[in-house]
Structure 1
Amino acid sequence: MASGWAADGAVQDQIDSTVDDAVQRARQALGHGESEQYCQECGEAIPLARRQALQGVRYCLNCQNALDKKHAAGSLYNRRGSKDSQLR
């Protein structure tokens, strides 16, 4: 099917790229290594139960929630361009 300037399969490529980006962000969010004893953001002590439950914890619960909200706000927009921007 002809779609103007877009190559065949461009829509699927865009979908694949969006999924790949989400997978990469999820992998980066996984903890690695030993957990910190103190939050890297505010300096408060991270509870022992949190450090034992999650590997590689770097932030207290409040700071982690704030970071998650910040990242979630930007993850809904496809940076590679929307259909509206391609029509202009």
Structure 2
Amino acid sequence: MGKNSDVTWKQDHPSTLLSNAVQRANRAVKQAMSHPEQQLIEQAYQSLSHAEHALDNAVQYEEHMDTVQQNQQQLEVLKQQLQHTTEQQ
């Protein structure tokens, strides 16, 4: 296989997809925290849900578990932050 297929494989790997989903959720939660409007809060919850599904897939894949665990911890922090933001509403 050539170099391009290695890059594609890395982009499609469950741990990479999880990392990307957690990064998107992080941005969405931060935006909802700074501008706690209903639409942004809903988007943050959707991003968290998507990241949780990516986490489930990555855990089933059973590779790069250190990265998966780090992302799982970050996801828990994000959920707590968003919950705190919604409680202040």
- TM bracket, shorter-chain basis: 0.3 to 0.5
Q: Which has the larger radius of gyration?
A: 1
TM-score, normalising length from structure 1? 0.35
TM-score (norm 2): 0.34
- Greater helix share, structure number: 2
